[in-house]
Amino acid sequence: MQKEILIKFGSKVKEFRLDRNLSQEELAYKANLHRTYIGMIERGEKNITLLNIEKIAKALAINIHELFQNIGE
Amino acid sequence: MQKEILIKFGSKVKEFRLDRNLSQEELAYKANLHRTYIGMIERGEKNITLLNIEKIAKALAINIHELFQNIGE
């Protein structure tokens, strides 16, 4: 099920975002992305690109590989 | 320099590919991607998507987070 990775990635983004008590809007602002885009990423509805993965990781103040820990095994 | 992440990612793909004595063509075949696309990824010329990152990781028989170890720090 190819899309599984998008869903797992989205859950990780949401997990880190909530850990930092950020709303989708606040994360979007920090990452310089649109709020609705963050929502779609978290629901696994977007095949995110590497440049946007980096933006989100930086906004969450984590390394990119942390977003992929235990997913895509 | 936003594109830096693409260049670093591409070098990691090349590193793992060479470790496994695979040609770009063989990796492309395993990942069900085009050979020229693999070349562009390795040179950092493509903003790769997560679904293709997963294809490449599977073809290299590694976890996605290994592709991001020590990059995007």
Instruction: Give the number of domains in chain A.
Output: 1
Q: Does A5 touch chain B (CB under 8 A)?
A: yes
Q: For chain A, give the mean pLDDT.
A: 94
pLDDT score of B1: 45
Torsion angle (degrees, nearest 10) of CA A28, A13, A39, A45: 130
Q: Which residue in A32, B71, A53, B37 sits closest to B59, CA to CA?
A: B37
Output the domain CATH number for residue B12.
1.10.260.40
B10 within a domain of the structure (yes/no): yes
B70 within a domain of the structure (yes/no): no
A15 within a domain of the structure (yes/no): yes
pLDDT score of A70: 83
Sign of the torsion angle spanned by Cα atoms B18, B19, B22, B27? negative
E strand or H helix at B21:
none
Chain B residue closest in CA terms to A1 = B51
Chain B residue closest in CA terms to A68 = B65
pLDDT digits (tens, 9 = 90+) for B2-38: 589 999 999 999 999 999 999 999 999 999 999 999 9
Is the Cβ–Cβ distance between B56 and B41 less than 8 Å? yes
A14 within a domain of the structure (yes/no): yes
Q: What is the ipTM of this complex?
A: 0.93
pLDDT at residue A73 above 60? no
- Contact list in B for residue A64 (CB cut-off 8 A) is 5, 68, 71-72
B41 within a domain of the structure (yes/no): yes
Side-chain-facing half-sphere of B54: CA atoms under 13 Å: 19
A73 within a domain of the structure (yes/no): no
B14 within a domain of the structure (yes/no): yes
pLDDT score of A1: 45
pLDDT digits (tens, 9 = 90+) for A12-68: 999 999 999 999 999 999 999 999 999 999 999 999 999 999 999 999 999 999 999
Residue A71: pLDDT band (50, 70, 90) is: confident
Where on the phi/psi map is residue A51: left (φ > 0), alpha (ψ -120 to 50), or beta?
A: alpha
Residue A26's domain comprises 4-67
A72 within a domain of the structure (yes/no): no
